[in-house]
Structure 1
Amino acid sequence: MRLLIASLLVIFGIALIIAAFVVPPTGVIDPTVLTAYGETLTFAGALFGIDSHYRNRNK
């Protein structure tokens, strides 16, 4: 379950980073906000993935 959540966080974070470069700034949300949020989700997903890797390594 943790691996699924980690994968979804990484995928969604990367999608937001790409969206920050592709979407024109027509709305209220600034692309830098999307980029920062995408980087945060990517980092959280990476931490989940590293945690899962080392938890399953010793079994």
Structure 2
Amino acid sequence: MYEYIFVECFLGGIFSSATHHETIAEYAQKGWRLVQVLPTHYNGQGKPTDYEIIFERPITDQ
């Protein structure tokens, strides 16, 4: 069985950088595995601006 976490991530813009690389590396270091990236918001031209990154990891018996 797996547990899941959903993390919002900004794609970046003219004055800011995207944060997805750092987010993926941070969660991978904590034992989470990347499952999927879904766009959640779009700008006026139809380009995605925000994403939801889905991670999973096995549930360990305690």
| Category of TM-score, reference length = shorter chain | 0.3 to 0.5
Q: Which structure would you say has the larger RCO, counting Cα contacts within 8 Å and 6 or more residues apart?
A: 1
TM-score by length of 1: 0.35
TM-score by length of 2: 0.34
Per residue, is there more helix in 1 or in 2? 1
Per residue, is there more strand in 1 or in 2? 2
